[in-house]
């Protein structure tokens, strides 16, 4: 069982289930990143176990059998994750980082194991909290695309199924250059911002790119149209991605 950091009572780790339970006790809506991975008939059991863990760790307290709340200290410590007005999420394959800001400060949550989040404080503003993480990803892009600005259009569903398609020999059904690019992809990276609008958070914008190794990085952008939502893959480089991300972070809430 994780210990509590003595300085501000921010737990060092919490599971997605515990974070959802904390949000319910606080009368808040859990962030989408903490969505349940349980079957519907198992969800009630998972929620009950999470509540017991919060009680055992001293993060929640019982006032009477029907009145359980977060402690005041836990509510303040977890405030950025429970009631944020700005969130930045960075995802690279199975690596996922989330930074949230509220009146209580900024908290960074790193998913090192499935549904297990390691928590730490960070300095304001929230847009800077994950810069070092994203910089590492960009530093790994040692090769620029051979023809910067080159574009290829692909259906969103094809891109989402690329791994399966290629594993099953589906590359033969794709245009040669697209098949070659998708075969080279090492990781899909997404940096997304969410901001407070009224009573809910909504996605403000996102930057998505493919790390295609020796084929360089490729931005993934909407291409318009309907149906399967065509996407444009645009050849780019690390410097252009840094500029694009800077523009994302500078957008007004």
Q: With pLDDT > 70 as the criterion, what percentage of the chain qualifies?
A: 87
Integer angstrom CA distances of residue 4 from 1, 10, 88: 10, 6, 25
SS3 119: strand
Locate tokens 């149906």: which residue? 227
Nearest alpha carbon to residue 186 among 231, 239, 142: 142
The Cα 49–Cα 26 span in angstroms is: 17
The Cα 174–Cα 161 span in angstroms is: 12
Locate tokens 């008939």: which residue? 41
pLDDT attached to residue 198: 61
Least confident of 52-66, 132-146, 148-162: 148-162
The Cα 62–Cα 28 span in angstroms is: 19
State mean pLDDT over 206-231. Answer: 85
SS3 230: strand
Whole-prediction pTM: 0.87
Q: Please report, in angstroms and rounded to a whole number, the separation of the first and last CA atoms in the chain.
A: 38
pLDDT attached to residue 171: 60
pLDDT attached to residue 6: 37
pLDDT attached to residue 172: 58
**235 phi and psi angles, rounded to 5 deg:** -65, 135
Element counts in the chain: helices (H) and strands (E): 9, 12
Per-range mean pLDDT, top range of 20-24, 161-165, 180-184, 203-207: 20-24
């Amino acid at each position: 069982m994780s210990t509590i950091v003595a300085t501000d009572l921010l737990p060092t780790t919490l599971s997605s289930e515990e974070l959802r339970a904390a949000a319910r006790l606080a009368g808040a809506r859990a962030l989408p990143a903490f969505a349940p991975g349980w079957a519907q008939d198992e969800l009630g059991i998972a929620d009950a176990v999470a509540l017991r863990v919060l009680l055992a760790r001293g993060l929640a307290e019982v006032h009477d059998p029907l009145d359980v709340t977060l402690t005041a200290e836990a509510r303040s410590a977890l405030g950025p994750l429970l009631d944020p007005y700005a969130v930045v999420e960075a995802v690279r394959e199975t690596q996922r980082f989330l930074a949230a800001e509220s009146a209580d400060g900024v908290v960074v949550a790193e998913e090192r194991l499935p549904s297990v989040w390691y928590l730490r404080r960070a300095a304001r503003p929230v847009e800077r909290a994950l810069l070092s993480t994203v910089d590492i990803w960009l530093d790994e892009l040692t090769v620029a695309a051979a023809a910067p600005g080159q574009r290829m259009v692909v259906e969103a569903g094809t891109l989402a199924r690329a791994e399966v398609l290629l594993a099953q020999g589906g590359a033969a059904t794709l245009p040669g250059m697209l098949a070659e690019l998708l075969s080279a992809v090492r990781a899909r990276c997404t940096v997304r911002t969410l901001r407070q609008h009224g009573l809910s958070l909504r996605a403000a914008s996102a930057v998505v790119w493919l790390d295609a190794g020796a084929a360089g990085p490729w931005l993934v952008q909407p291409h318009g149209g309907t149906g399967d939502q065509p996407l444009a893959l645009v050849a780019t480089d690390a410097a252009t991605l840094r500029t694009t991300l800077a523009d994302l972070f500078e957008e007004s809430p």
